[in-house]
Amino acid sequence: MISGKEGSYDHKTYGDISLSYLDYLVGGGDHYGQDYIRLVDKEFGKVGRIFEWCAGPGFIGFSLLASGLCDSLCLADVSEVAGDACHDTARRNGLEDRVDVYVSDGLKDIPESESWDLVIGNPPHSGTDKELHWGPELIYRDLGWKVHEDLYTNVGKFLAPNSQVIIQENKNLSSSADFAQMIETGGLGDVRTTDNDLHDDIYYIWSSPSS
């Protein structure tokens, strides 16, 4: 293990990428989040630049990069510890010219120069104050869906032509109706849902810039 600012990193290997993480940063990206590989390969093949929102240590983004499904990667999370882990992975694997990492409260600290062909994410799945035994609250709770609202309100300015926003949610804790108004307000449309093949409770909600 390698020592990080908050402890010692464990590692997972995706292709030729060794990913650094800490146990309490794990929120499903290493499990059902890996279904993105199937989805992106089937629907798009290789894309230019992927943004992983609420990235944690980047399980999804780095696995897509390792699978050859994007040219470059942008990762953002509100947690400085998660950002440190992402930086460690990029540095150790010689990916600093292909991977940008931002510690950001939502999209607030993302440079306006960013442009994404695909936005993905496994965000907190609960919009209520009900306690869930899923680790730290930061992993599972988005009270009032404020973090989601920030994404859908602001993501449009970062989207390249013909881009897509495809986010994982939990069927037991939300439906597409919870996000419909914020998606519309953000200038996105073509909203639909599909299933996750690795976990029956997880679904994807798709949206894209309205023409």
Q: Rounded to an integer, what distance in angstroms lies between the CA atom of residue 175 and that of residue 189?
A: 16
Quote the number of domains for the chain: 1
- Percent of the chain surpassing pLDDT 90: 91
Give the residue numbers spanning the domain of 117: 2-209
* pLDDT over threshold 90, residue 5: no
pLDDT of residue 7: 55
* pTM for the structure as a whole: 0.95
Task: Quote the pLDDT of residue 125.
Answer: 97
Location of structure tokens 């402890």 = 7
Do the beta carbons of residue 169 and residue 28 sit within 8 Å?
Answer: no
CATH number at residue 92: 3.40.50.150
Task: Give Rg (Cα) of the chain.
Answer: 16
Q: Is 20 helix (H, G, I), strand (E, B) or coil?
A: strand
Instruction: Find the distance separating the first CA and the last CA of the chain, reported in whole Å.
Output: 49
What tens digit of pLDDT does each residue of 35-77 get?
999 999 999 999 999 999 999 999 999 999 999 999 999 999 9
Cβ neighbors of 176 (< 8 A, separation 6 or more) are: 191, 192, 193, 205
Contact 81, 101 (CB under 8 A): no
Number of H helices, E strands in the chain: 6, 10
pLDDT at 138: 87
The pLDDT tens digits of the residues spanning 171-202 come to 999 999 999 999 999 999 999 999 999 999 99
Two tokens, residue 201: 């409770």
Q: How far apart are CA 75 and CA 119, in angstroms?
A: 10
The whole-number pLDDT of residue 211 equals 66
Above 70 in pLDDT, residue 112?
Answer: yes
Distance CA 170, CA 126 (A): 8
Phi, psi of 114 (to 5 degrees): -65, 145
